[in-house]
Amino acid sequence: MIYDIRHKTRVDYAAPVRLARFNLRLRPAPWPTQSVSDFRLAVAPVPWSMEEEAGPFLVNRSRLFIREPLDALEVESSFRVEVRAPDPELALAKTPSVAEIGARAAAHRDLSALGPASYIYPSSMTPLSPEIVGWAGPILAGARSVMDAGLALMHAIHDEFTYDGSATTAETPPLDAFRARHGVCQDFAHVMIVAARGHGLPAAYVSGYLRTLPPPGQPRLVGADATHAWAALWCGDALGWVGFDPTNAMLASTDHVFTAMGRDYADVAPMDGVFHGGGGQTVAVSVDVAPVTEPVG
């Protein structure tokens, strides 16, 4: 599939802010099943400085500095991406056992953004939770391989949890969402990551976009698509990272557009920053994932 992606964000501040610094993580990082072209980034007002850098983790970051006072910020990114389908037999792939993959990850010498070493320990937004790890124990008991484990966790979260956009915020701890059994894609990915890491599996948080399909007979609405999040498990050197989407109970495929991968949401948030000033703010986001080509057959 080939898509044209457009992501617009507008932030309105109740009172002017100044000396603002922002991190934007909108340019997709390299990913094996994607090719990105014609990336563009527009910011208003024009920043006094803007620097591009890679990392930490599998992230491309734009660092902005705006000196003058501002009462609103507009950011728009766009790019074209080709997403190649994974192996149709991926779910049946032979992968190491849960115990073996944990030992391999702990002994792995690859400290790059794609190496498993950075994704086996708790992080600020995915702390170790005995309650979540205990819940996952019986689910993983019958898993013969890391692929089986990922599928089992993914389906368990999809079956037991309810998607509810009003139940959580971007700061909600995984344990709170777990106990409520309500949340959004960020919460489901965090719960899966905590469960997997608690059993020795390298697990990462992936941010990106998801193509949504309109109801039958209805036109596709421009701007009605969404940012999305899912989990990825390291399945050994041969297979690498595999995306598991617990929100939709499916492996990441041609409807999923990869942007960044880190330990948790904080590593890959599309936008964050600091500034001088106070008062509230309102944020409006519009995302468009427009297919350029449809699959053949």
Is 90-268 the same fold as 2-83+269-293? Answer: no
Q: Residues 258-286: what's their mean pLDDT? A: 94
Write the CATH number of the domain with boundaries 2-83+269-293.
Answer: 2.60.40.2250
**Tokens found for residue 141:** 């008991």
User: Are residues 98 and 38 in contact, defined by beta-carbon separation less than 8 angstroms?
Assistant: no
CB distance 153 to 246 below 8 Å: yes
What's the number of CA atoms in the CB half-sphere (13 Å) around residue 160? Answer: 18
Tokens describing residue 272 = 């964050």
Question: So where are the chain's domains?
Answer: 2-83+269-293, 90-268
Both tokens of 154, joined, read: 């993914």
Cα separation, 5 vs 236, in Å, equals: 31
pTM: 0.93
| CATH 3.30.1600.10, domain 90-268, yes or no | no
Neighbours of 38 (CB within 10 A): 9
Helix or strand (DSSP H, E) at 139:
helix 130-141
For 96-152, write each residue's pLDDT tens digit: 899 899 888 888 878 889 999 999 999 999 999 999 999 999 999 988 899 999 999
**Residue 221 confidence (pLDDT):** 57
| pLDDT score at 297 | 41
Quote the tokens at residue 284.
């409006």
Over the stretch 13-67, which tens digit does the pLDDT of each residue have? Answer: 999 999 999 999 999 999 999 999 999 999 999 999 999 999 889 999 999 999 9
